Structures are given as C-alpha cells and as structure tokens.
C-alpha cells in the first residue's frame, strides 16, 4: 500500500463531505416561506456551477489533453495539433446531451422543464403564493422542487467522482498538492451542498432530508477515490480522466441553465436569481484566485 494512502484518503473525505456544511444551511433557515432565499440560493448555486465548469474544470481538462498531445509529439508522433482537445470538446457536449436525454425520457407531468401550459403556469404561480403564505404547495410543485434537488445531487455526484480521483491521486504523489486541491474542492462543495439541500427542503419541509440528500452526494468523492485506487488505476489514464472531466463540465452547465436558473426565477424575482448567480461566480472567482496565489 502506498505510504501516503491514509493521508490521501483523509483529504478526499474532507473535500467530499464538505457538502455537509452547505447542506446544513437548511437547518438555519427560520422562515421556510421565504421564497427570496430559495431564489437566491438556487441562483448562487447556478453561478458556482457555471463558473467552476467554464473557468476551472473544462479549461483544466483541455490543458491536460493538450499536455498529453505535446507529450506524444515529443515522442515523434503527428497528431494534427490539438486532436486530443477535440475529444474534450465532444465530451463536453455529450455531457449536456446526456442530461437532455434523461430529461426527455421523464414523462411530461413529472418534468418541470417542458414548456408549461397556461393552466400549469397558473398552478406554479399558485405554489409560489402558497409558500409565501405558509400554506402547502401542490403535489406537482413539490415534485418539481424535489426533482431539481435530486437531479442536482446526481450531477454533483458525477462531478464529485472524478474530483475524488483527482484529489486522491494528487495526494498520493504530493501531499502539499493534495492539500491545495482538497481545499479548493471543499470550497466548491459548500455552495454545491446548498444547491441540493434547499430545493429538497422547500419540497419536503424536512431539514433532515435536505441535509442527508446533499450530504450523500458528497460521499461519492471518497468512494471515487477508493475505487480509483483498487479498481480504476490500472486502466484509467490521464486522457480518460480529462475526457471524463470535460463531460462533467457539460453536465453541470446544462443543470445550471436548464434547471437551477429557471427554477430560481419560477419561485422568485428575476433579478434576485441573477444577483445570486453573480454572487456565486464571485465567491468562486475570489476563492480560486486566493488559492492560486497562495500556491
């Protein structure tokens, strides 16, 4: 067993389970009927997912593919200057299409992303008013919110799996590098925890369900690390990981644009959702700048 195994595993657990910090936000929401907080938190989460995808995950994956391409060139093979990058771009859109396909396979009456009829729009508006007045929302309204939370949890679980591999493998090679990556991922996972917990909380009214659904999405990270060590490492090369990360970036972008932002606007004012999105991007931008500077 590698001498840094337990340190690497501990760092990966720390990074993954930091979603619990974000998911615990539900315990501090005093007024469940405050739609502004729901709107702001969904917009914030969308901003985090968009910024992390476009400014970190996808560029990192493309850079890794470029590095692999250059390495092959040094060995004397011709690759047409960036053929690996094409694979990353294709994987990005495949990730988006995968979520779109899943969305299309869901029956219309359970799918909040299909174009709503006038009657359905009126029902959604009635749900918003019910939340504001402290009344129960309609069963369809609860399904919409619950599905958003669960699909976001699924997207983040897919996102956390390669992150777990990245944290674990980097820490095996260098503990200092592993610490830096673990801190960066932990900072990302806190608002991601909010993205899962708040829709579930507003759908069910249960703080414990909101916490555990969000918390469990982060458990995938150390699970990914353990699988990487015992199963995937003999087969998973740097190109495969980079392509996987590209696909995950596409998944997160689609989730943010197709689910989080529309839902945020449905349950609140347009400007509040956008303010939340900008705030989420700003928090991620500052945290990444600070981490890069310290590194």
Q: Average pLDDT, stretch 25-46?
A: 71
pLDDT attached to residue 135:
60
Q: Average pLDDT, stretch 136-164?
A: 71
pLDDT attached to residue 278:
95
Q: What percent of the chain has pLDDT over 90?
A: 7
pLDDT attached to residue 128:
59
**Domains of the chain: which residue ranges?**
5-294
- Given a cut of 50, is residue 111 above it in pLDDT? no
- Given a cut of 90, is residue 172 above it in pLDDT? no
Cα angle 266, 267, 269 (rounded to 5 degrees) comes to 85
Tell me what percent of the chain is helix, strand and coil, each rounded to the nearest 5: 85, 0, 15
Q: If pLDDT is split at 50, 70 and 90, which confidence band does 268 have?
A: low
Of 191, 183, 161, the residue nearest 24 (C-alpha): 191
- Given a cut of 90, is residue 88 above it in pLDDT? yes
| More confident call, 149 vs 130 | 149
Of 188, 184, 166, the residue nearest 241 (C-alpha): 166
Span 220-233, pLDDT tens digits: 888 878 887 787 67
Contacts of residue 7, defined as CB under 8 A and 6 or more positions apart, other chains included, come to: 171, 175, 178
- pTM of the entire structure? 0.61
| More confident call, 181 vs 15 | 15
Q: How far apart are the first and last CA of the chain?
A: 28
Question: Can you tell me the distance from the alpha carbon of 201 to that of 41, in angstroms, rounded to the nearest whole number?
Answer: 12
> If you average pLDDT over each of 33-47, 144-158, 164-178, 263-277, which comes out highest?
263-277
Per-residue tokens: 186? 């932990």
| More confident call, 172 vs 226 | 226
Span 197-211, pLDDT tens digits: 877 877 777 888 888
pLDDT attached to residue 76:
44
Question: Can you tell me the distance from the alpha carbon of 166 to that of 262, in angstroms, rounded to the nearest whole number?
Answer: 32
pLDDT attached to residue 277:
92
pLDDT attached to residue 114:
47
Span 75-84, pLDDT tens digits: 444 444 457 8
Q: If pLDDT is split at 50, 70 and 90, which confidence band does 115 have?
A: very low
- DSSP string covering 142-209: HHHHHHHHHHHHHHHHHHHHHHHHHHHHHHHH-HHHHHHHHHHHHHHHHHHHHHHHHHHHHHH--HHH
Q: What average pLDDT does the chain have? A: 75
């Amino acid at each position: 067993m590698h001498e840094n195994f337990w340190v690497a595993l501990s760092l990966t657990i720390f990074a993954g389970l930091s979603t619990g910090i974000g998911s615990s936000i539900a315990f501090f929401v005093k007024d469940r009927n405050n739609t502004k907080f729901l709107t702001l938190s969904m917009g914030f989460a969308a901003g985090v997912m968009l910024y992390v995808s476009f400014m970190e995950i996808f560029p990192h994956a493309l850079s890794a593919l470029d590095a692999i391409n250059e390495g092959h060139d040094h060995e004397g093979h011709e690759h047409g200057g960036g053929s690996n990058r094409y694979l990353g771009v294709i994987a990005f859109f495949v990730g988006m299409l995968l979520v779109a396909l899943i969305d299309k396979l869901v029956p219309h009456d359970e799918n909040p992303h299909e174009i709503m009829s006038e009657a359905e729009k009126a029902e959604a508006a009635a749900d918003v008013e019910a939340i504001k007045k402290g009344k129960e929302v309609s069963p369809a309204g609860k399904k919409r919110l619950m599905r958003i939370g669960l699909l976001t949890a699924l997207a983040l679980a897919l996102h956390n799996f390669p992150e777990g591999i990245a944290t674990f493998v980097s820490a095996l090679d260098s503990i200092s590098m592993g610490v830096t990556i673990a801190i960066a991922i932990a900072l990302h996972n806190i608002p991601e925890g909010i993205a899962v917990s708040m829709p579930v909380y507003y759908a069910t009214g249960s703080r414990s369900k909101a916490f555990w659904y969000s918390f469990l999405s982060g458990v995938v990270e150390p699970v990914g690390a353990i699988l990487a060590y015992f199963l995937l490492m003999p087969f998973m090369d740097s190109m495969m990981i980079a392509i996987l990360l590209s696909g995950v970036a596409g998944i997160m972008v689609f989730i943010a644009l197709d689910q989080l932002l529309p839902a945020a606007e449905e349950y609140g004012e347009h400007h509040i959702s956008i303010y939340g999105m900008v705030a989420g991007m700003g928090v991620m931008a500052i945290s990444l700048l600070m981490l890069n500077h310290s590194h």
